[in-house]
Amino acid sequence: MGRALAADGDAVVTSRVGEGPRFQNPLATGRCVCEAVRYRLDAPPLFTHACHCLDCQKKTGTAFAMTTIVLRDDLVITHGSTSPTVLSPRRTAHGCAVCDTWIYIASARFPATLTLRPGTLDDASIAAPQAHIWVKRKQRWLTLPDGVPRFDENYSMDAVWPAASLARMRAAEAKIGR
- Check: CB of residue 3 under 8 Å from CB of residue 13: yes
pTM given for the model: 0.84
For the stretch 125-171, pLDDT in tens is 999 999 999 999 999 999 999 999 999 999 999 999 999 999 999 99
pLDDT at residue 115 greater than cutoff 70: yes
DSSP state of 143: P
Query: What are the residue ranges of helices labelled H in 16-117?
Result: 54-60
Give the pLDDT band (50/70/90) at residue 24. Answer: low
CATH code of the domain in which 140 resides: 3.90.1590.10
Go through 153-172 and write b for each residue having 16 or more CB atoms within 10 A of its CB, e for each that does not.
eebeeeebbeeebeebbeeb
* 88, β-bridge pairs: 91
Q: What is the pLDDT of residue 177?
A: 87
Q: What is the pLDDT of residue 26?
A: 76
pLDDT at residue 110 greater than cutoff 50: yes
pLDDT at residue 22 greater than cutoff 70: no
pLDDT at residue 20 greater than cutoff 50: no
The tally of domains found in the chain comes to: 1
Give the pLDDT band (50/70/90) at residue 17. Answer: low
For the stretch 52-106, pLDDT in tens is 999 999 989 999 999 999 999 999 999 999 999 999 999 999 999 999 999 999 9
Q: What is the largest CA-CA distance in the chain?
A: 55
- Give the domain range for residue 22: 3-175
pLDDT at residue 16 greater than cutoff 70: no
Give the pLDDT band (50/70/90) at residue 13. Answer: very low
- Check: CB of residue 105 under 8 Å from CB of residue 94: yes
**Of 89, 83, 86, 88, nearest in space to 103 by CA:** 83
